[in-house]
Amino acid sequence: MAKGVRKIVLSGVAVAALVGGGFGGWHWWTEGRFIESTDNAYVHSDITVVSPKVSAYVREVRVAENQQVAAGDVLAVLDDQDFTAKVAEAEANVAGQKAALGTIASKLELQRALIDQAAASVASAEAEQRRAQQDFDRTRALANESWASKQKFETADADLRKAVAATNKARAALDAEKDQVGVLNASRVETEARLRQAEAALQTARNDLANTVIRAPVDGVVGNRGVQVGQYARPGVQLLSLVPLPDVYVVANFKETQLSRMRPGQAVTVEIDAYPGKRLEGKVESFAPASGSQFSLLPPENATGNFTKIVQRVPVRIALPHDNALAGLLRPGLSVTAEVDTRGSGDAPHVAGSVFGAVRPGQAVASK
């Protein structure tokens, strides 16, 4: 009896093992062999580091750690006394250059009147020269007939010479007055250039004054806030960071041997270690242009005598839907397990510019 029961139990175990093995083999053949997974994956986000554009002491800090802010909200205010003074100085410089332009315009108006006056003097001198010429001609004719004295002839000749000289002088004065217009126009061009320079300096001063109010460039949550009232802020020094939650994605570092059938657009199942049992559906978005080791501080140099082959990993960006079940709960840095379903990829080549770079807008994704 015991042998019969034992035989039945062993038979049942054998049947269960065969059924389990067959089911496992069927599952692997139909699905498992197409799944590429890794636990070397993390939640990421495009974190914005906020730094000042000008150097000044911090007067106010208007946000707290972990506070939600919108683009344009004031984060901090720097002391603006020096920048206000520079704006006033630049405004005065602009006003001075505009006044100089006004003065030149007035001089040009005056110069036109002086030119008209000089032209009138030329006309008067020419008329006097014509009169002197006529007197000279009459006196010379009379002197030739001995009807006029030599003294009178010499006087007429001197008057003619004086009239010619006066005409030449008047014409030279007219030319000088006309040339002065060119000088004034050149001075106006130079002053206009200085005015534009002063206006540019004024705009720069106003920009610096506006930059004393530090605003949020994007919507996000304040993090890593290191700014305090009284701190001396300098350009390039981080004040705080803005994390644009819930806009997050996953970067999974797959082995190079897992990439042969992986394509952009393939479905990905994502499980976050912080929320076990919650599985999210995403899609492969793009592949890094090089392996992670190439972007390290000291890239490997394999052209040495001591070479050991190491399987490289390539970062793969995985997009998550905005309305996923954990929207608003995911934080950059959380650990992830990612599984990519590579079914349907076939032997199609990688899409140019996507597997080793982001998919371009409007670009087709190779699939079957």
Q: Do the beta carbons of residue 48 and residue 218 sit within 8 Å?
A: yes
Q: Could you give the angle at the alpha carbon of 225 between the alpha carbons of 221 and 227, nearest 5°?
A: 135
User: What 3-state DSSP class applies to 307?
Assistant: coil
DSSP H/E element including 185: helix 150-210
In whole angstroms, what is the distance from residue 35 CA to residue 38 CA? 10
In whole angstroms, what is the distance from residue 52 CA to residue 215 CA? 10
* Cβ neighbour number for residue 68 with a 10 Å cutoff: 11
| 181: pLDDT strictly greater than 90 | no
Amino acid in position 92: A
Per-residue pLDDT, 147: 67
Amino acid in position 288: A
What CATH number does the domain located at 52-79+214-238 have? Answer: 2.40.50.100
Per-residue pLDDT, 220: 92
Instruction: Give residue for tokens 């008067």.
Output: 124
Omega cis (within 30) before 246: yes
Lowest-pLDDT range, 43-52, 184-193, 275-284, 341-350? 341-350
Q: Name the residue ranges covered by the structural domains of the chain.
A: 34-49+241-368, 52-79+214-238, 81-210
User: What 3-state DSSP class applies to 241?
Assistant: strand
Q: Which CATH superfamily is domain 34-49+241-368 in?
A: Efflux pump adaptor protein, beta barrel domain (2.40.30.170)
Sign of the Cα pseudo-torsion (173, 175, 176, 177, in order): positive
User: What 3-state DSSP class applies to 215?
Assistant: strand
> Exposed, middle or buried: residue 224 (CB in 10 Å: 0-12, 13-18, 19+)?
middle
Of the pLDDT bands very low, low, confident and very high (cuts 50, 70, 90), residue 196 is very high
Q: What is the pLDDT of residues 339-367, one digit of tens each?
A: 998 886 554 545 434 443 443 333 333 33
